[in-house]
Amino acid sequence: MLQTISFHLIALLLIIDPVGVAAMFAALTQGTTDAYKHRMARRAIVIAGMTLLVFTVAGDLVLQALGIGIPAFRIAGGALLFLIAIDMVFARQFGLRDLSQTETREADERDDISVFPMAIPLIAGPGALTTMVLLMGRAGDSVAAQASLIGVLFVVLAITLALLLIAGRVVKLLGTTGVNVISRILGILLAALAIQLVLDGLQTGLKFG
């Protein structure tokens, strides 16, 4: 069970990347009051958490309705996560993990950034949603593994909230280079996880194909 919890924790920390999210939050809330920052942070975490939970529970039903098997979804999900990992390693905007120029302008003009862009897509983005469905599928019928996944999700969201609340100090401490270094390290690990998911999908598909 400890190994399962560790796997879930590492996977979610890699894909949500609380430090990177905090850096983006600090940029979007620069010059605003602490009360505004705290309100946006709390709302973003609640909305992202609800989105991830709903997708985790209903994701398998959606796949079944579309006739998509778990092996195929693992391969597709692994490919998506690998592209996000490349994004993280090169610290560039490829449109998978960061905001586009249009989205950035829209976010700058918004009074409420909790839903967009913080909750979706920065926290509960395509990668995080895909990861939750994949991890739930990996848990199978084990209630303990499923409960572990949900519990770990709350822990990661709590860590993200804590970093959002002190985002300015985190970015000032680490600097842009420090944030990018952490993101690159997480990206390398995420790339390995993505390849493993693809291999799992291929192995399962060949076994039952």
pTM: predicted TM-score of the whole model, two decimal places: 0.84
Please report, in angstroms and rounded to a whole number, the separation of the first and last CA atoms in the chain.
30
Amino acid in position 122: L
* pLDDT value at residue 110: 65
Amino acid in position 173: L
Residue 95 binned pLDDT confidence (cut-offs 50, 70, 90): low
Q: How far is CA 96 from CA 79, 126, 152, in A?
A: 12, 8, 24
DSSP secondary-structure letter at 1?
A: -
pLDDT in tens, 15-63: 999 999 999 999 889 889 999 999 999 999 999 999 999 989 998 888 8
* pLDDT value at residue 180: 84
* pLDDT value at residue 97: 56
- 61 Cβ neighbours under 8 A, 6+ residues apart: none
* pLDDT value at residue 6: 93
* pLDDT value at residue 19: 92
- Asked whether the beta carbons of 197 and 74 are under 8 A apart, the reply is yes
Q: What is the mean pLDDT of residues 197-203?
A: 88
* pLDDT value at residue 203: 87
Q: Which of 146, 119, 139, 145 is nearest to 52 (CA)?
A: 119
Q: Is the peptide bond preceding residue 117 cis, with omega within 30 degrees of 0?
A: yes
CA dist., res. 112 & res. 53, Å (int) = 23
% of the chain residues with pLDDT over 70: 89
pLDDT in tens, 117-138: 999 989 998 889 999 999 998 8
Degrees to nearest 5, angle at CA 2 with 161 and 7: 60
Half-sphere exposure in the Cβ direction for 62 (13 Å, CA): 11
Q: What is the mean pLDDT of residues 189-199?
A: 90
Q: What is the mean pLDDT of residues 144-164?
A: 96
**In terms of DSSP H, where are the helices of the chain?**
2-16, 18-28, 34-66, 70-90, 101-109, 126-139, 143-165, 167-208
* pLDDT value at residue 152: 97
